[in-house]
Amino acid sequence: MQPINTNSETATSPTRQVIVAGHPEQLLPGRCIAVDLGDGTELALFNVGGEFYAIDGYCPHRGAPLSEGYVYGEVVECALHGWQFDVRNGECLTVPEKVRTYEVFVEDGLVKIEI
C-alpha cells in the first residue's frame, strides 16, 4: 500500500510534534498503511474496528516494514518471518520484544499522530 505523505506538520513544541496522517476514510477497518515521516523512516498506522493505532514502521527482528504485514484484528504479523505484534501496545507476541507506540487521534476530520 502506498505511504501517506505527511508534509503537513500541524503542531510543534520542544516535547510534542504532531503529524497529519490523512483522512480517516483513507484507512478502512482491518487495514494498515505506512506513514512517511519525511526523514527516511515511517510508522505503521492501523485501523482496528474504527480505532487507530500507530507503531514503529519496522520490525525489530530484521527490519521488515510492518505496514506490509498481515493484519489479524489487533495483531500484525511481520511478512518476513512471522513475528506478531499487538498494535495497541506494541508488545511482541512471539518473542520478548516490543515496538514503540504513538498516540493517534482524529481532529478536524484528520488522523493525527503524536511523534
Q: Does 78 bind ligand FES (CB under 6 A)?
A: yes
Q: Does 115 bind ligand FES (CB under 6 A)?
A: no
DSSP string, 9-38: EEEE-SS-EEEEEE-GGGS-TT-EEEEE-S
DSSP symbol at 41: -
| Residue 103 beta carbon to ligand FES: minimum distance, rounded to whole angstroms | 24
Which residues in 14-73 contact ligand FES (CB under 6 A)?
59, 61-62, 64
CA distance 113 to 30: 18
Binds ligand FES (CB under 6 A): choice among 52, 83, 85, 102: 83
Stretch that binds ligand FES, among 12-20, 24-32, 44-52, 78-86 (CB under 6 A): 78-86
Give Cβ neighbours of residue 49 (< 8 Å, ≥ 6 apart).
29, 73
Q: Does 81 bind ligand FES (CB under 6 A)?
A: yes
